[in-house]
Structure 1
Amino acid sequence: MAISTINKNNIKVALVDDHVLIRNSLAKLVASFPNCTVLFEADNGRHCIEFLNKHQLPDILLLDISMPIMDGFETAIYVSQHFPLVRILTLTMLTDERSIVKMLRNGARGYLSKNISPQILLEAINAMAEKNIYIPQEVSEKLISGLQHDLSEVVAVSALNDKEREFLALMPTDFTYTEIAKKMSVSPRTVDDYREKLFKKLHAYTRMGLAVYAIRNDLF
């Protein structure tokens, strides 16, 4: 599935957080951004899914992790499977490696700590709308560590061939490997070979690990 097109002048946002005061304040903040509209607020994953099933879909879902009834981990899996056009941006107090890796593996495309400025939040929303991913430096370092990627062994971009760079540039997207093969004008088997070789070469054994490498090295 290719990345959906978002109107950058009117980004539709929804918020899921069980703390009412925080959620309401966030909603007011997001609504104050000149290019954002808040569609709805929900206090847990189940409540969010009810809204998604009945109302207009948001472009970006600001999703907390620690919530009753249905937490962010479960919600990310469900939303990414049933509403793949909705881009999940995690906004949480949890900044440990396990939470970061788990959320991104479950379908989130961005990850933020709640200890950020309004400007960073706007930057993240705009980046999610434009590129479908937002991984700030401090999160990417923890992500790589959580994926057991030794930073001392990072391979320089200059050591990669053109096809490997082209393949890596497509890792942060929503394209399937079959679609990537078509875009690169190669067979699916060749794409599988690129992936396996890069897993070993970069010591990053998941697609998200490859995506982080691409972002950190300005390939995306």
Structure 2
Amino acid sequence: MHTTQTAVTRVALVDDHKLFRKGLLELINGFSGYTVILEAENGRDFIRKLFPEKVPAIVLLDISMPVMDGFETAKWLQEHHPDIKILALSMSNDEETVLRMLKCGVDGYILKNADPSELRMALEALEVDGSYYSSSVSEILKRGLVSGTQLQTELTEREIEFLKLACTELPYKSFSPFLKVSPRVVESIRETLFKKLDVASRVGLVIYAIRNGIYKVE
């Protein structure tokens, strides 16, 4: 039993398989500190049910859905509710799907056959660290992206330095002394890179940096 309402993290489930969704609902509601406040069978259904008083902190988002899939839904959330954390749910861990979801702005990626304990870990990591990727997905990023391709976009030295910093644990506001610019210029560089590289989040910047050899994954 939850002692205070403020201690409860609100979760939404977006998945077209009702049996899987109901199982997930019972599982998450069984976790201390979490409650499912909204269920939807696709992105459009989710948007229709999303009211100002019913905004979740985390959305568990299936990728393959009819009407409006996970890619479209993640992009919509990134644009309209950037504070909501998105945990992608998928049976697939192929590089193309993972990268495409990362580019759409998801904060985490977990496979549907994961253990309940990993789901709990993923939810907690999203709140504490801001992101979570299953070990198999992390391996894909390490294995598949380091070789990469040549830089597709011409970047300035300062933009390359920004990308390297984006791959660290430092918050954006701490970039100023390293780049020798004001915080406002840091914001400007970030927004320019989002447009130049066609990415919607810090994760997108990191993936681009890894893919193009700007940052080496150890």
TM-score, normalised via structure 2 length: 0.71
Report 1:12-161 matches (<5 A): 12-53=10-51, 55-146=53-144, 148-150=145-147
Q: CA deviation at 1:123?
A: 0.2
Once the two structures are superposed, residues 67-122 of structure 1 have per-residue CA deviations (whole angstroms, 9 ceiling, x without a partner) of: 00000010000011101110000011121111100001101010000111100000
Cα separation, partners in 2 of 1:130 and 1:28, compared to 1, 3 Å: same
Q: Alpha-carbon deviation of 1:143? A: 2.5
Q: Which blocks of at least 5 consecutive residues in structure 2 are unaligned?
A: 149-161, 194-203
TM-score relative to the length of structure 1: 0.70
| Alignment RMSD (CA, Å) | 3.4
Structure 1 Cα separation of the partners of residues 14 and 24 of structure 2: 10
Deviations 1:43-83 (A, max 9, x none): 00001111224542111100000000000010000011101
Contact 2:163 2:206 survives alignment (8 Å): no
The runs of 4+ residues in structure 1 deviating greater than 4 Å are 163-167, 182-185, 210-214
- The structural deviation recorded for 1:211 is 8.1
1:168 aligned onto 2:128? no
- Structure 1 counterpart SS, 2:83: coil
What letter matches 1:22 in structure 2?
A: F
Structure 1 residue 18, shift from structure 2 partner: 0.1
Counterparts in 2 of 1:184 and 1:33: CA distance versus 1, 3 Å: farther
**Cα separation, partners in 2 of 1:67 and 1:87, compared to 1, 3 Å:** same
Correspondent of 1:186 among 161, 168, 180: 180
**In 2, distance between residues paired with 1:142 and 1:32?**
31
